[in-house]
């Protein structure tokens, strides 16, 4: 029997390493079985790590049994263990996508919703994020500080390929940035007791949290967020102010659609003169999967302290534009009692929103509601279609593994295209006419 131990603890004196790991290792050795060890911290599994990734994949292929040994820190694995799973167990090596029921299919509907061609939509997204990149260029804490033009962000080339159409690499946040930030939250009494100068105090004026339907298949559409709309309403109501009273903004920016939808729901112009970020945003400042919003809140603290009396708005979202949050901050104390609503009060309103009937196993004539084409290093890899059958029910399907079709769906607008969906071995396949 071939055994592989993956140990992900930085401290060799810890119980995890010195106890669990050494015990498992000892027992395997007693059985005189083959053993290989991946020690993520002693291997220095940091950048550049391409050679290690290939070595680790070879070991995973070689072994019959894998032991994963890691502590749980704040409900998560250690950073290097999380990166191990992200970069070693990759599509094509560890698994393949079939009939995916959850995907980021948001960007494409804007082609119709905003009456844009694919080229126009790409440029508008590039223009939007070039403004974010210019802020990052001036931020010494940002990961990408070179700045990018709209054309550089929107143009597909070997250094800026599609990740998932219509998003290029420069439209995507980077999941592998080490980040840390901290915010100290106290009562006024405690701040006085600790001797914290009043000029450092920042007050939370309004806040709210809500979520849209967890399953994309159950959403009303793919270009809006009822939760974001309600979160904005509740946040401003609690703060006793309006959007016009806000002096600085940082909108969560994992992808262009997150910003576009937030702007639409909150009534913010894409080219708002206040700017939409104070950090540079996730693709350029760094994120996600780490600590971005803590950074944006911390940076907003610096912003409002530098200009006492102004108000700053920070938003956040998670999953597939699912979880929504917002907060308004100022050095001026709130003029009324701080009394946030229980989110369950307004979540009921959101939960009433029901999408179309979902057909898990779809057959028949249909049209494309939205779609995306996922890419790997060689080009289009597979397509995902959200569609409607003639009876109005929604389905999710893959496209045929046809490179010419997938290339066509990238170059042409296939929204609303008719075709046929067929279920084979529990996988829906949609073929355009």
Q: What was the pLDDT predicted at 206? A: 96
Asked if the model's pLDDT at residue 50 lies above 90, the reply is no
Q: Among 65, 67, 73, which Cα is nearest to 10's? A: 73
Q: What was the pLDDT predicted at 229? A: 95
List, in sequence order, every beta strand (DSSP E) within 57-98.
65-69
Q: Which residues pair with 383 in a beta bridge?
A: 373
Residues 160 and 54 in one domain: no
Backbone φ and ψ for 429, nearest 5 degrees, come out as: -125, 125
In a domain, 42, yes or no: yes
Q: What was the pLDDT predicted at 417? A: 93
- How many Å apart are CA 51 and CA 233, to the nearest integer? 50
- How high is the mean pLDDT of the chain? 90
Q: Output the CA–CA distances (angstroms, integers) from residue 29 to 43, 56, 58, in the order listed.
A: 21, 21, 21
At 265-309, the pLDDT tens digits run 999 999 999 999 999 999 999 986 668 899 999 999 999 999 999
Residues 44 and 70 in one domain: yes
In a domain, 102, yes or no: no
Q: Among 124, 147, 125, 150, which Cα is nearest to 134's? A: 147
Number of helices (H) and strands (E) in the chain: give both, helices first: 13, 14
In a domain, 105, yes or no: no
- CB 166 within 8 Å of CB 114: no
- How many Å apart are CA 173 and CA 283, to the nearest integer? 4
Asked if the model's pLDDT at residue 178 lies above 90, the reply is no
At 63-108, the pLDDT tens digits run 999 999 999 886 678 888 988 988 898 877 887 655 443 333 445 6
In a domain, 100, yes or no: no
At 369-406, the pLDDT tens digits run 999 999 988 899 999 999 999 999 999 999 999 999 99
Residues 328 and 346 in one domain: yes
CATH code: domain of residue 41: 3.40.50.360
pLDDT band at 336 (very low <50, low <70, confident <90, very high): confident
Eight-class DSSP state of 41: T
Helix (H) or strand (E) holding 250: strand 248-250
pLDDT band at 158 (very low <50, low <70, confident <90, very high): very high
One-character DSSP codes across 314-326: EEEEETTTTEEEE
Residues 157 and 202 in one domain: yes
| pTM of structure | 0.75
In a domain, 312, yes or no: yes
Residues 292 and 255 in one domain: yes
Q: What was the pLDDT predicted at 112? A: 63
Q: What was the pLDDT predicted at 325? A: 95
Structurally, how many domains does the chain consist of?
Answer: 3
Rounded to an integer, the average pLDDT of 204-216 is: 92
Q: Which residues pair with 287 in a beta bridge?
A: 174
Residues 249 and 171 in one domain: yes
Asked if the model's pLDDT at residue 407 lies above 60, the reply is yes
CATH code: domain of residue 185: 3.40.47.10
Asked if the model's pLDDT at residue 200 lies above 70, the reply is yes
Backbone φ and ψ for 191, nearest 5 degrees, come out as: -60, -40
Q: What was the pLDDT predicted at 105? A: 44
Name the residue range of residue 78's domain: 2-88
Rounded to an integer, the average pLDDT of 47-72 is: 90
- How many Å apart are CA 165 and CA 371, to the nearest integer? 9
Residues 380 and 345 in one domain: no
Residues 300 and 179 in one domain: yes
- CB 315 within 8 Å of CB 325: yes
Rounded to an integer, the average pLDDT of 149-158 is: 96
At 231-255, the pLDDT tens digits run 999 999 999 999 999 999 999 999 9
């Amino acid at each position: 029997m071939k055994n592989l131990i993956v140990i992900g603890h930085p401290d060799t004196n810890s119980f995890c390493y010195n106890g669990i790991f050494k015990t498992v290792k000892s027992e395997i050795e007693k059985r005189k079985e083959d053993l290989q060890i991946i020690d993520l911290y002693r291997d220095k599994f940091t950048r550049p790590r391409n050679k290690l990734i290939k070595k680790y994949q070879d070991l995973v292929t070689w072994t019959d049994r894998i032991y994963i040994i890691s502590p749980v820190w704040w409900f998560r694995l250690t950073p290097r263990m999380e990166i191990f799973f992200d970069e070693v167990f990759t599509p094509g090596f560890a698994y393949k996508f079939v009939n995916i029921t959850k995907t980021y299919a948001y960007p494409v509907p804007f082609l119709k919703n905003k009456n844009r061609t694919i080229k126009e939509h790409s440029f508008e997204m590039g223009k939007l994020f070039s403004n974010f990149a210019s802020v990052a260029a001036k931020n010494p804490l940002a990961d990408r500080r070179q700045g990018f033009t709209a054309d550089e962000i929107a143009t597909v080339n070997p250094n800026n390929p599609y990740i998932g159409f219509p998003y290029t690499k420069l439209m995507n946040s980077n999941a592998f940035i080490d980040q840390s930030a901290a915010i100290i939250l106290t009562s006024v009494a405690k701040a006085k007791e600790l001797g914290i100068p009043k000029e450092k105090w920042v007050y939370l004026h309004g806040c709210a949290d809500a979520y849209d339907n967890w399953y994309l298949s159950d959403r009303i559409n793919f270009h809006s967020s009822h939760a974001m709309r309600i979160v904005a309403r509740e946040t401003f109501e609690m703060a006793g102010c309006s959007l016009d009273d806000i002096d600085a903004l940082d909108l969560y920016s994992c992808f262009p659609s997150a910003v576009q939808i937030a702007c639409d729901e909150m009534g913010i112009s894409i080219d708002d003169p206040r700017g939409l970020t104070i950090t540079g945003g996730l693709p350029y400042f760094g994120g996600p999967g780490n600590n971005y919003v803590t950074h944006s809140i911390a940076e907003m603290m610096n912003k409002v302290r530098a200009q006492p009396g102004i108000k700053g708005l920070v938003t956040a979202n998670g999953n597939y534009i699912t979880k929504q949050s917002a907060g308004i901050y100022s050095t001026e104390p709130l003029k009324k009692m701080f009394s946030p609503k229980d989110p369950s009060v307004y979540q009921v309103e959101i939960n009433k929103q029901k999408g179309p009937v979902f057909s898990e196993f779809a057959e028949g004539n249909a049209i494309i509601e939205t779609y995306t084409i996922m890419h790997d290093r060689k080009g289009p890899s597979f397509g995902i279609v959200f569609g409607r059958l003639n009876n109005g029910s929604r389905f999710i399907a893959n496209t045929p593994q046809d490179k010419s079709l997938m290339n066509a769906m990238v170059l042409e607008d296939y929204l609303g295209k008719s075709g046929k969906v067929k279920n084979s071995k529990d996988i829906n396949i949609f073929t355009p006419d």
